[in-house]
Structure 1
């Protein structure tokens, strides 16, 4: 009968052998990715613009296959995140991806950018959503990441409004579970807190918890949760921030309380914006802007073709048209790709019934 140490030694030898195999295969995959880049560059001509190395539909398909074939004991999403980082590192060998996000450093938007592109992407913080759009439009970066809606607080209207004037396309989406923490400077007394900083949406998402734990504390809305964490790092005793783990790490803060959001399923959806259209991945969404005359049944005329074709609408929002009193445009998300034949017919019919139809993009549904 082998002793405990002998059994552990055998298992550790097996792990070492497996690690060597994994290492060889990762490098083999990286070499293959470099060959892909060489093929694209060889066949690329100047009139085609910059060569495209990042293909969102292809990456979504790979990650779905990872999840589908996973047999455990690791969860499919865990394994997919490992592959996400491998793919990010391989893509960086072809061409590093520059991504603008709504900053500063430590925001949930940065976390969404890293979740989607991996840690080998070059992420650049922008002070406003407008700046993210401008940076991508100027091609100073390849892609941008902006928040679009929260499961408890609704849509981010400023993001929707930017799409009206922008020629950028949506190339992906990220769904991020939002966990809020009460952050303080190391050594702070939680009983002495008199001010709490956070973004107004985060304050709203923690309203019940705050009413229960700090009913008399001054709540101060700032531009972002990361800005809240920065202020706490620079101020003295008696202040706290509501922010996420990245902000805590970025500004050296301690966790006073964890997961203080009122709804445990609190999730924010982010959009990836860029210049290129995205091919079919088989599990796609499409986003459009549609406008109609201010008359009875106007919205019904836009939505009825989707119902008749059996197309699943996942989101409908209205915003002022800004080109006349009480006029509105509708932001609509639905399941499917604009190149799918049934959707082509629906969009053709909607275009005939609308005074405005703008296709913002078709893109893979969030995978991880």
Structure 2
């Protein structure tokens, strides 16, 4: 065995050992989270117990970023811990999170970024329905768009906060990346129309004017709906995000 192969074998064995340690530590953390749930329920018999504490999660993630030794970036380390926290919280009680749908929207991406992938995300067709879902108790939290860096405030959301008893308890900043997409089965077809949400058209106006001038732009309710239509129609494209 060459020195290189021997060293690679040593490193892989070390990674396997570290993986075992990580798995044991995550399991220990999950067991501790379960014990927290048992203590809370014992202290509040017959009452609704709030397992998720956004201020506590923010405190933990802030500490993780500050104490991160590298080489992983602080944001990436925080993302990993958020998923661990999400999975541990789901052991206590899975949360239902209402968001402005349909599936695949940037609002869903924001919900998963904030709560992790171990929640039950519930798409709602309109912003006011997200509010109603939380107000009725059918969802624990709701995620709605508030501000767009290029198009400004989302007035419908602000109007709902004026009339709703709900309060903002967290903020998610999401970097938006748009893609012009066509279905693989229609990739050789000439693009004759583009579907997207009106805000995405506004954000991409300069690029579209330069590269796709004269092509019909059709506004739909969401970028996810745009992607669905483009996947079924020859000659159609969509502006949408990765999800």
Q: Identify the TM-score tier after normalising by the shorter chain.
A: over 0.9
Give the equivalent residue in structure 1 for 2:242: 245
5 Å-filtered alignment, 1:23-172, equals 23-46=23-46, 49-172=47-170
Structure with larger Rg: 1
Structure 1 residue matching 2:170: 3-state secondary structure: strand
Gaps of 5+ in 1: 247-368
Residue segments in structure 2 that go unaligned for 5+ positions in a row: none
Q: What are the superposed Cα offsets for residues 342-365 of structure 1, whole Å, 9 maximum, x if unpaired?
A: xxxxxxxxxxxxxxxxxxxxxxxx
In 1, the alpha carbon distance for the partners of 2:228 and 2:148 equals 24
Alpha-carbon distance between aligned partners in 2 of 1:214 and 1:125, rounded to the nearest angstrom:
32
RMSD: 1.3
TM-score, L = length of structure 2: 0.97
**Counterpart position of 2:198:** 200
Q: What does 1:202-221 correspond to in 2, within 5 Å?
A: 202-221=200-219
Give the Cα separation in 1 of the matches to 2:185 and 2:225.
21
Deviations, residues 93-143 of structure 1 (Å, cap 9, x unaligned)? 001010000000000000000000000000000000011001111111100
- Aligned pairs, number: 243
Distance, in Å, in 2 between the alignment partners of 1:127 and 1:234 is 21
Give, in angstroms, the shift of residue 144 of structure 1: 0.4
Q: Secondary structure at the match of 1:58?
A: helix
Larger strand percent? 1
| CA distance in 2 between partners of 1:160 and 1:221 (Å) | 23
Instruction: List per-residue Cα deviations over 1:164-212 (Å, max 9, x = no partner).
Output: 1101111111000000001111043477111100000000000010001
Say which SS state the counterpart of residue 33 (structure 2) adopts.
Answer: helix
The Cα shift of 1:232 comes to 1.1
Query: Could you say what secondary structure the match of 2:90 adopts?
Result: helix
- With structure 1 as the length reference, what TM-score do the two structures score? 0.65
Q: CA deviation at 1:234?
A: 2.1
Runs ≥4 residues deviating over 2 A: 187-191
Match of 1:5 in 2: 5
For residues 67 and 147 of structure 2, the distance between their equivalents in structure 1, rounded to whole angstroms, comes to 31
Q: Which has the higher contact order (CA 8 A, sep 6+)?
A: 1
